[in-house]
Chains A and B, each alone.
Chain A
Amino acid sequence: MDKLFVVIKREFMERIRNKWFLIMTLLMPAIMAGMILLPAYMAIKSSGSDSVNRIIIIDASGAGLGQSILSNLKLDSAGARLGDSLAPVKPDLRVVTLAELKAAEDKALAEVTKPHSYAGYLSVTDTTLSTGRARYAGRNASSIADLSRLEGALGRSVMTVRLGNEGVKPEVIAQVSKIRADISAERISEKGKSGSAAAAIGVGFFLAFMLYMSIMLHGQNVLRGVLEEKMTRVAEVVLASVKPDILLAGKVLGVGAVGLAQQIAWFALSAMVVYFFLPFITHGMMSAKPLADTAAVAAASGAAPPTSMTALGLFTIPLAVTILGFFLTGFMFYASLFAAAGSMVNSEQEAQQAAMPVIMLLVVTIIFLNPIMMNSNGTLATTLSWLPFSSPIVMPMRMAMGGVPMTSVIGSWIVSALGCAAAIWLAARIYRVGMLMYGNKPSMGELVKWIRYAG
């Protein structure tokens, strides 16, 4: 056991001494925080873009629809949302007859194509009033946020005008049109209501991705480490001192310890960065709340800043223990297989090929993350939670998203641990023979023979 410790110590110390390790450990949280904060920040920025305020509205409805759109746009403009009048709202309203529509559109087109002028033009006709259909052409036609703002304003305007035509009082219409639907979704777990659903999905995805990243990254480190020892022939010197099982275990555990240390450092640093910048972001986000798709964009990009507070609250002790438990089994499962792949070959290129089946197992798991996120308790999610190669990534995610009984989590971990033990057994047998074999990459048949060698 002393010798195992010596091997682990070397693996750990040599890796954390590496300057790239230090750079990655410090830089990654900044990148992670950027990945979380930047989209949210961009969402606010783009929703507050004044493109929509610089359009031409061509009104051929003959019913004052254009005027209504204008006032609705002013209502939800960035300036209006922030409660000040900073953003100048200058949509250009042109009321025309149906006959003049074509000429007005041509003129507007010419104006939009000039630089630093209008962003686009929206033309509405009397059919807009009955069908809600209108045409927009502009440089920002691909901006989902802008179009959704226009559609919102148009929809409300059509309603305003038609309600007016039906004789509803203007004050009622004004009040009704100010109402914005905003569903705040809460997730229900065994302990009752807790936190928001968006936060749960965000945290779940974040966890799955972090687990995948670290298993892939450090698993490949094990592969490279094994290959280095084989190619430089250091292995033979070391194997004269310790049994191959100890060298293999020391490598996997040493690299695993580095991975764990890095994960903890990343998580702590990311949390600090998010906490530090959160007030700046939430200030903008709170007032931007009416825009449903801003929240959607932010949620898709990870943990949405408004939910970040609740997101951190989701990291309960049982979840932390689950993450740790699954990281251990998951990492050892993949790291052993990566080590076996490394011991079979004699060059980086061959190693890539040999590692392919192992990488595929990881990638398959990641491909299924999206469908699982949509339905975290469906058949796919349940099945993948009970397969040793995918459960270490899928189960912590599902647990964070809620609704998974603790017995299932424990059961799935036990299966994962058994899978891990099987992988270690298999890898140790391949490794023992592979480390001393130079020459061609073994065929499947030869591999089976290696596994069968007793000694």
Chain B
Amino acid sequence: MPNAIDIQHIGKAYDAHVAVRDLSLQVPEGSVYGLLGPNGAGKTTTIRMILDIIRPDKGTISLFGRPSTDPSVRDVVGYLPEERGLYKKMQVRRMLMFLAELKGVKAADASRRIDDWLARFSLTGGDRDWGLAKVDELSRGMQQKVQFIATLLHEPNLVILDEPFSGLDPINAQALKDAVIELRSRGKTVIFSTHVIENAERMCDAVCIIANGEKVLDGPVATVKQQHGSHNVAVSLADARPDYAAIFSDTKLVTKVDNQNRFFECELVPGADSQELLRRLVQAGASIERFELIQPSLHQIFIQRVGANNIEKGMSGHG
């Protein structure tokens, strides 16, 4: 799969403060990609560099195989900044038109799409046509919808959302999740930054965790979890028999077991295949009610890795 974004060894420093140091990552085309990290990790700086709002001090960024500094590449990217901003005194339709035209959309096309989007977000068709209102007459929720429309109006192939869930009420947050999934189903690439890991865990195909301007880990969510799985398996059986328990005692397979008669929670030998355990239980004739690989949540991995990383930082003389 070709990469929508290919970042090679970028870095950006402001005076004494280093925002991003030597970051490389690849976002496959058509995936939902999460950029995770604590506040001040360098997420927004990275996003701004992808968008060529600021230039990296070093390294290269290419989007769909073209350098990010190529002006034509801006037109296929949609951006929702963390700090939402609209011209307060401008009419909603005119402002959407302006932002669409800035992306090179023809006025006639833009006008039609604005109609569609406003109707879809129920900003028109009710007792009032909010498209004709000024931005500052809109409620906060409506302004967020308008901002989101502005991000997608030019039908970008790459959508970049910086902290999209911050400040959203549950209904708008759900609408945003639906929209992201729909974008993916239409083959678009979505990259979003967040510090709410649960959202990323459910939605993302792949993630990158950054802290202190450096990559802590990246890759497909499943792989990341596998790498950080502590190989724990929970098993519930319909009946208890000694030969079942013997399987759990095999030290080639299991290092530790918590035998609770019909329920076992065990830690596998590093490199051991959990499916091997399942196969042997089935061969032994066990009736299995539950067989679960207990994977750590992304949240746990995040805490574990970013926490450890920070401690390392502190010991390396930066504190």
Contacts and interface: CB of A to CB of B under 8 A. Distances in A.
B102 A236 contact: no
A149 B117 CA distance: 78
Interface string A223-238: 0000011001111111
A241 B99 contact: yes
A434 B81 CA distance: 17
Nearest to A455: B55
Nearest to B54: A436
Contacts, number: 65
A299 B98 CA distance: 49
B contact residues, range: 20 to 34
Interface string A206-237: 00000000000000000000001100111111
Contact of A237 (B15, B71, B79, B101): B79
A221 B150 CA distance: 26
Given A3-B102, A238-B102, A449-B15, A233 B55 contact: no
| Interface residues of chain A: helix, strand, loop or mixed (majority) | helix
A139 interface: no
Contacts of A319: none
Most buried by A among B51, B74, B85, B89: B85
Interface string B204-237: 0000000000000000000000000000000000
B104 interface: yes
A233 B102 contact: no
A2 interface: yes
A234 B48 contact: no
Contacts of B75: 241
A240 B85 contact: no
Interface string B79-105: 101011111111000100011011110
A232 B104 contact: no
Contact of B86 (A6, A232, A242): A232
A10 B98 contact: yes
Contacts of A14: 87, 89-90, 94
B77 interface: yes
B155 to A, nearest CB: 14
B294 interface: no
Nearest to B89: A14
A239 interface: yes
Interface string B48-60: 1001011100000
Nearest to B57: A455
A234 B85 contact: yes
A238 B95 CA distance: 11
A237 B85 contact: yes
Given A6-B102, A241-B102, A436-B48, A236 B54 contact: no
Nearest to B51: A240
Most buried by A among B81, B147, B150: B81
A439 to B, nearest CB: 11
20 contacts: A6-B102, A14-B89, A14-B94, A228-B87, A228-B88, A232-B87, A233-B81, A236-B79, A236-B81, A236-B83, A237-B81, A237-B86, A238-B102, A239-B51, A240-B74, A240-B79, A242-B102, A243-B71, A449-B15, A455-B54
The 4 closest A-B pairs by CB, nearest first: A233-B85, A455-B55, A241-B102, A234-B85
Interface of B: 15, 48, 51, 53-55, 71, 74-75, 77, 79, 81, 83-90, 94, 98-99, 101-104, 147, 150
